[in-house]
Amino acid sequence: MQSMRDIDNELRAWEMRHAQQFANERKPHFSSDSGIPYQRLYTPLDLEKIGFEYGKSLGFPGEAPFTRGITPTMYRGEHYLSAQYMGFSTPEETNALFKLLQAKGSKALHLAFDLPTIQGYDCDHPLAYDDVGKTGLSLSTLDDLETVLDSIDISKISVAWVNNPLAVVWVAMMCVLAERRGIAWSDTLGFFQNDIIKGFLTDSQFIYPPDPSVRLATDVITFGIRHMPKARVSNLCCLQYEESACDEAHQLAFGMATGTAYIRAALARGCDIDDVAPRISFLGCVNHRDFLCEVAKWRAARRLWSGLMRDQYGAKKPESMAPWVRVSTGGLDLIKDSRDMNVARGALACLAMAFAGIQSATPKTYDEPLGIPSEEASITALRSVQLVQFETGVCDIVDPLGGSYAVEVLTHEVEQRARAELERIEAMGGMVEAVKNGYAAKKILEAGTRHVARVTSGEKLSLGLNIYPPEDATEREDFYLPAPAAVVDERIAALRASKARRDQAALADALDKVRLVASQPAGEDSNMIFPIIEAVRVGATSGEIADAMKDVFGGYRLPW
């Protein structure tokens, strides 16, 4: 076997023989979009420089440090899940699309809400009218939910709820729907995003101030642990940070710092780390850009999270240290007039997903820059995942890029950068403090500004945008499922009719109980889900419950 000295001598000799060619390379320096340097060549010398040890750095799949994957067989046992994130304006339309995608091979449902529903407004609120059904599903009542999930078995099909400010409401509605169908809470398959912290930083999807918002998120986590053992209780959002142009280090550090904030809150409620950690998952992004860095990012994430859970929180169970990761493909780099290129970008990203070792995929559609995904685009995105799974062969080998000199060095580099940023956030008191003091928002703003400047200057090349623009670009109509005034008016009329049928005295008592519990200190004796369940049972809408909590918690505006 060659010694490192021999390899070093041969490398130097090779560099001298080809010095002239190296002088004519396309650029003086090569790096990822985030500034991670790309060497010309990686060799065993680079692994020695980073202190690479097989057992400590790589190991085996299904075992710590989980660099190579969270199960021993990975996709040789079962392919990663594929599903689309969507919701159309009415419950009926959303249900029809869900059924169509199930027939095409989708195995999970990811429910998108319109902005009024997310922000706590029923469709009959004066501020909601112009936005009802425009970016997702309008949902207010238990009857609406019954329609959305008609003929869908919530004990067998995982339903993901992408609504962070009011996750407590949708957990409660899920429980009451289960009661209607004779299903025990413990048998329901829920997937609650429930990451309100990212709402203060990326999409402004929040209602209440940070502290009561984190209290509500913790209510969901602890309730789920104790009453919904099959549900995932929080999905830590790294995706939105990538879509805001943050680098790999900030994506992982912000997501993990958020996770530790929720974990500490749950532990303070008496939960055990080995009950909490396995129920928390990650929502991330795997992009086509900087392909190898994207693969390295999630290999580094597993290694970093594994050590964090074991060393700082004392986790003992392997599943506590093995993060379950759902990813989307990147939307930031999709171009409005480049449909075919967007399909290609998505397919490349789906290939990177398989190399990265993720557990579930919700790929962006080619019409992501236009509006709500069309039926055709949704099926194309699903087929891109299936193309990788069934035709490429990469899913037949566990961690096929493991041991690559380049990938292992990049994995190490991403991990070290993310660890340093995570330690910086923890030193200031954690992610909630990083939100309050403006640190995280500043980093995101800097990243976005840098991204725009690089694209505008041409430093960052985007086909169809600043290089090789389409010669036959044609105007395409943005796709929004029609929600004309007549449809909105029908929604409002149906909601008002539903409200009129309720026992008003029982409703008032239930909402008063919501306010009473909200006014009590956070804790398991004041978990908001229990009074909200009672309110849902007597017909309270999501908007009415949101308003009752706002009476106590108050609303919130960002200070910057």
Domains of the chain: 54-457 (3.20.20.240)
- Gap between the Cα atoms of 173 and 396, Å rounded: 40
Instruction: Supply the DSSP symbol for 38.
Output: P
Which amino acid does the sequence have at 316? K
- Gap between the Cα atoms of 526 and 521, Å rounded: 7
- Gap between the Cα atoms of 251 and 241, Å rounded: 5
Cα 221 to its chain centre, rounded Å, is: 16
- Gap between the Cα atoms of 162 and 112, Å rounded: 6
| Predicted pLDDT at 484 | 65
- Gap between the Cα atoms of 361 and 363, Å rounded: 6
- Gap between the Cα atoms of 261 and 526, Å rounded: 20
- Gap between the Cα atoms of 251 and 33, Å rounded: 14
> What distances in angstroms separate CA 1 from CA 4, 5, 6, 7, 119, one per listed residue?
10, 12, 10, 10, 64
Cα 325 to its chain centre, rounded Å, is: 8
pTM assigned to the model = 0.92
> What distances in angstroms separate CA 161 from CA 99, 382, 412, one per listed residue?
17, 19, 34
Q: Which residues contact 73 (CB under 8 A, 6 or more apart)?
A: 61, 62, 398
- Gap between the Cα atoms of 505 and 511, Å rounded: 10
Residue 65, preceding bond cis, omega within 30 degrees? Answer: yes
Which amino acid does the sequence have at 74? M
Instruction: Supply the DSSP symbol for 137.
Output: B
Residue-wise pLDDT tens for the chain (560 aa)? Answer: 789 999 999 999 999 999 999 999 999 999 999 999 999 999 999 999 999 999 999 999 999 999 999 999 999 999 998 876 666 678 888 888 888 877 877 667 778 889 999 999 999 999 998 888 887 888 999 999 999 999 989 998 888 888 899 999 999 999 999 999 999 999 998 889 999 999 999 989 999 999 999 999 999 999 999 999 999 999 999 999 999 999 999 999 999 999 999 999 999 999 999 999 999 999 999 999 999 999 999 999 999 999 999 999 999 999 999 999 999 998 899 998 888 999 999 999 999 999 999 999 988 899 888 876 777 888 899 899 999 999 999 999 999 999 999 999 999 999 999 999 999 999 999 999 999 999 999 999 999 999 999 999 999 999 988 998 877 655 555 555 445 677 888 889 999 999 999 999 999 999 999 999 999 999 999 999 999 999 999 999 999 999 999 999 999 988 76
| Nearest-5° Cα angle at 219, 213 to 222 | 140
| Predicted pLDDT at 499 | 95
- Gap between the Cα atoms of 232 and 276, Å rounded: 10
Q: Is 349 in contact with 306 (CB distance < 8 Å)?
A: no
| Predicted pLDDT at 472 | 66
